[in-house]
A and B are shown apart, each in its own frame.
Chain A
């Protein structure tokens, strides 16, 4: 870890506001991107980010300089987003992916598929919330199934099966998007 960052972190541990603002300025955009990915709206993402930063500054003493500071911050935002998700879960309508009629297809064909990040985000957004959480936690943020199961309060096998179904669903949706794009071009 670079010396400048270590000094900033030490100053934050001493609760120096200027250092806290410097760390905020340095990482807030990256963390807001993470928060946006796990929430349904910008205002929810703002709430998650604010709550996460408060945790960061209050628990900074528990951060070890041997670890990645970026990774530590991202974990806090993701965990805060999960808490937010679980808090709102009881009000949400549960949808099982079987109801979405995802058709299993060989992922071999998927390798040739062209899609943009926006198309992928749109496809992920169509996933039922539980499946979307599992997919994002596992694929994008590198959580293990055991951690996902603990964090979301689900069974380990549920996490595995939801990930598998989510992949197939995304393949189907992205293939459909690609097909429509080609039709428009032609």
Chain B
């Protein structure tokens, strides 16, 4: 063994088995850092996000007037109330079983031959989680949209040759350029 190796070995032996007790608070600091974030905090955060998304979605849907700019058709405001009834459970961790809606009926007032559009919602909803409630509400949204699409909105065909006559009266009935604007 060379002199250098002897020196190294002597130094190494001096540090063998070296131990110094760390401060007591270090353990708590460490395990506090290792612990995952508490469940209620994460749940609250995700529920908050769901609530905001749901509220934004329903506020967009709850403006039927102006959404369809067809004067002869009226959409029942029951859609809004039903939407609110469905959106409400999103704010809760678990949805109470009473949160059920009998049915949602969309009426077309001025069309005598128009049949009411029924949007069926499950009766006697059992206890469901917020995630299930969110899924159901998105399904309902889809159904409501479908029902709106089925409304008998007559389109007016516009051909180049008829442009000049559109503004003219035809007997006692005026035909105006029909513009249908859809919001969202």
Residues of A participating in the B interface, judged by any CB pair closer than 8 Å: 17, 20-21, 24, 28-30, 32-34, 36-37, 46, 49-50, 53-54, 57, 106-108, 110-111, 117, 120, 138-140, 142, 167, 171
Contact = CB atoms under 8 A, between A and B. Distances in A.
A185 B17 CA distance: 31
Interface stretch (B23-31, B72-80, B108-116): B23-31
Given A37-B18, A140-B15, A50 B30 contact: yes
B182 interface: no
Given A50-B30, A110-B3, A111-B3, A139 B20 contact: no
Given A54-B33, A57-B34, A167 B7 contact: yes
Contacts of B21: 28-29, 32
A167 B3 CA distance: 11
Contacts of B22: 28-29, 32, 46, 49
Contacts of A117: 14-15
Contacts of A54: 30, 33-34
Given A36-B20, A120-B11, 19 more contacts: A17-B31, A17-B34, A20-B31, A24-B30, A24-B31, A29-B19, A33-B18, A37-B18, A46-B22, A46-B26, A49-B22, A54-B33, A107-B4, A111-B3, A117-B15, A120-B14, A139-B8, A140-B11, A142-B12
10 contacts: A17-B34, A20-B31, A21-B31, A24-B27, A29-B19, A29-B21, A30-B19, A33-B20, A37-B15, A139-B12
A98 to B, nearest CB: 20
B6 interface: yes
Nearest to B26: A46
Contacts of B17: 30
B23 A46 contact: yes
A107 B7 contact: yes
Given A24-B27, A24-B30, A54-B34, A167 B19 contact: no
Greatest chain B CB density within 10 A among A30, A34, A53 is at A53
Contacts of B7: 107, 110-111, 167, 171
A33 B35 CA distance: 25
A142 B8 CA distance: 10
Contacts of A33: 18-20
